[in-house]
Structures are given as structure tokens and as C-alpha cells.
Amino acid sequence: MPLDVVDLRAFYASPLGHVARRFIGRAMLRFWPDCARQRLLGLGYSTPYLSVLGMQAERTIAFMPAAQGVVNWPSPGLSASALVEPTLLPLPTASIDRVVLVHALEETESPDDLLEEVSRVLNPGGRMILVVPNRRGLWARMDGTPFGQGRPFSRRQLSALMRGAEFSPEHWTEALYVPPLQKRLLMRSARAWEQIGAGLSLPFAGVHIIDATKQFYRRAPLRATRRSFALRPVLLPQASPTPRAANPPARPGTG
């Protein structure tokens, strides 16, 4: 069942949602400390993070999938959010500098098509932050949060998807080591969970966070040339036939 925008908004208003926003947002800011003069697009439910990254951006847009629903964002002023089909974005090719995907890849039926469409709207050398549930993490195994919905991914799966869409990962980190439970003790100790988990490189983080760059050119596929060593008949040139005379000379003694 697709995520609903009402449930997403309620999650980020909860104490556990504040924890997720804080630690994921910190990782994003380490990757992109400055988005000044950049055209920034958020796809999925990215508004909790666009509010942090897009403060100095030239333009910030929030696209939300049709199956999820849309909310007005930002609440004051003109709305910069819209309902879209994620694999058919209403944007010209190479019109965006940076893209943030949150609650998007795990919800789509075709991850390959989604990343191809993101690559299309990005400028050559444009950058993408991808936040995806970790297949080995606790958050993907418990459906009480949005990160427990949809399809989680492993590092190998994400690497293959990005390679197919011509993205090159520049930075890779994990976040949300704290168990996804609405317990005050866990909320208070969330920072310690993050420090211990990151310091020991534990495998059960809740999400992967990847900063990737769109490649400047597409690789030309190398096709193997098959050589056949079967013996083939050799056609040799034949002698040209001598044309016959129309009236051959009479033989001696005849006539």
C-alpha cells in the first residue's frame, strides 16, 4: 500500500520523526553545506529536508507522487509543491542542479525508470541525495514508520541502480541506528546510538544516505565481435569464354 501524505506529515510531527529529520538532515548538510544559486528539487516526501537545504537556493520545488498525495509547502507564501508522476516529471531536460529523493525510490514500481528520469532533468555534473531504507536495518523490519514501508535496498542493489542511470556515488553514509520505537529513553539516548553505530560501522542502520553525481557522458557499450573459423569455399575467378563466330569458315574439300 503506498504511503499517504497525511501519515508522513504525522510521522515527522512525532518525537521519532524529529529524531529522523535531525540525523538525516545533518548528513545531508555535510554533503551539501551550501546550495546557494542552485535549482533544488525534492521528490517524494522531502519537505522536512528541503526546509534545511533550500534556505539559500535560487529555486526550490517539492514534487510529490500522485499515489501519495500532496500538501501545501511552504505553509507561508506561495506554494512550491505539486502532484506529479515520478517517472514523467514536468520539467525540461537538464533544468535542475540538485535533487533530493526521500520516501521515493522504495515506493516506486520501477526504480530504474525513476532514476533515469532524475538523471534526465539534472544538469551534467548535477548532484543527487538519495535516502533509502537499509535492507539490513531495524527500521525496514518494523512498519510503524514510513521507512518500514515499500522496498528496502542493500548497498549492492543501490550501486547497480545508480550505475545503470549514470550516477557516480561520491559520499555514502548510514543513519538511524536508534530502534524505531516511541520510547522516551530511546529518544533521549538517540545521539549515543548514532555515535556508537557510526563509530563501529554497525550494519543495522535504518537508512542509506548517498550523495551521487550525474556523469557528464554516457558510456558506449562494448560489444564483443564474434569470429567464425568455419571453412568457407573460396570462389576463384573463371576464364572468360571465347565467343563463337557467327559464320565459321568452311573446311577445305567441302562445299
DSSP 93: T
| Residue boundaries of the structural domains of the chain | 5-214
Q: In terms of DSSP H, where are the helices of the chain?
A: 5-12, 15-31, 47-53, 111-121, 155-164, 184-188, 190-200
**20: nearest Cα among 137, 171, 162:** 137
Q: What residue ranges of the chain have pLDDT lower than 50?
A: 221-231, 234, 255
Among the four given CATH numbers 3.30.499.10, 3.90.700.10, 3.40.50.150, 1.10.3720.10, the one describing domain 5-214 = 3.40.50.150
Torsion of CA 9, 15, 19, 22, to 10 degrees: 60
Q: Cα–Cα distance between 194 and 25 in angstroms, integer?
A: 13
Q: What is the pLDDT of residues 110-139, one digit of tens each?
A: 999 999 999 999 999 999 999 999 999 999
pLDDT, residue 219, reads 55
pLDDT, residue 52, reads 87
The most distant pair of C-alpha atoms in the chain lies apart, rounded to whole Å, by: 134
